[in-house]
Amino acid sequence: RKEVEQDPGPFNVPEGATVAFNCTYSNSASQSFFWYRQDCRKEPKLLMSVYSSGNEDGRFTAQLNRASQYISLLIRDSKLSDSATYLCVVNLNTGNQFYFGTGTSLTVIP
Amino acid sequence: IAGITQAPTSQILAAGRRMTLRCTQDMRHNAMYWYRQDLGLGLRLIHYSNTAGTTGKGEVPDGYSVSRANTDDFPLTLASAVPSQTSVYFCASSPDSAGANVLTFGAGSRLTVL
């Protein structure tokens, strides 16, 4: 079983739409959670860390559900520039054990 | 510009050849990592280093070696390249090895082994 699983998509949404991605993780000892964004043929870049209480950064909201072992990312008012692959990342906090999902592809359509 | 520099950006290599991918960071991060990214498999850890002078094996270390002679440099060597090592390689770093730290990635090295 993979440590981190994501729906690969693709998600094709119109501009202005709200879209949500979920990611599940298998190890209940996981302590740190992140969403990274990766543009085509580029390196992953941190979008946001995910905190237990949930957190928001502008149009982006991340939530963590430890009981069900999933994290989510909500994007409101989608922009063309949001088109990218979104990677879910989980860490056990034991050092070096970052586990990456395979990514969810989002295309925002004019 | 602060960050991670990888070289080469891309390379086509004959099977059996030796290849070193270079990675340099100027952020004085203690921890450094090498990942490979393959379609449908996501990023997988090859080797890591928690601090200068130490290295460790990740999920897919076979066929690769690393060294960490100083804080800034973390080269990845393929002793005898095979076609299955065709991939995009990302070097990353973090302030230390604590899991809450954010990873900063280099721009990647696209390697094709024929």
Of B33, B42, B45, the CB nearest to A103: B42
d(CA A85, CA A70): 18
Q: Mind telling me how many Å the CA of B6 is from chain A's nearest CA?
A: 11
| Residue located via tokens 């592809």 | A105
Q: Mind telling me how many Å the CA of A14 is from chain B's nearest CA?
A: 26
- What number of helices (H) and strands (E) belong to chain B? 0, 11
Measured between alpha carbons, how far apart are the two ends of chain B, in Å?
34
Q: Give, as one character, the DSSP assignment of residue A80.
A: G
**Mean pLDDT (whole number) for A69-90:** 96
pLDDT of residue A85 exceeding 90: yes
pLDDT of residue B100 exceeding 80: no
Strands A44-50 and A32-38: antiparallel
Q: Which residues contact A67 (CB under 8 A, 6 or more apart)?
A: none
Chain A residues within 8 A of B107 when measuring between CB atoms: 42-43
Residue of B36, B37, B51 to mutate when probing chain A, most A C-beta within 10 A: B37
**Phi then psi for A81, rounded to 5 degrees?**
-70, -10
d(CA B61, CA B44): 10
H or E segment at A41?
none
d(CA B87, CA B74): 18
Q: Are A72 and A63 in contact (CB under 8 A)?
A: yes
| Residue located via tokens 């991340």 | A62
What was the pLDDT predicted at A30?
87
Indicate the burial class of B1 (C-beta count within 10 angstroms; 0-12, 13-18, 19 or more).
exposed
**HSE on the CB side for B68, CA within 13 Å?**
21
pLDDT of residue B76 exceeding 90: yes
pLDDT tens digits, B26-46: 999 999 999 999 988 889 999
pLDDT of residue A107 exceeding 80: yes
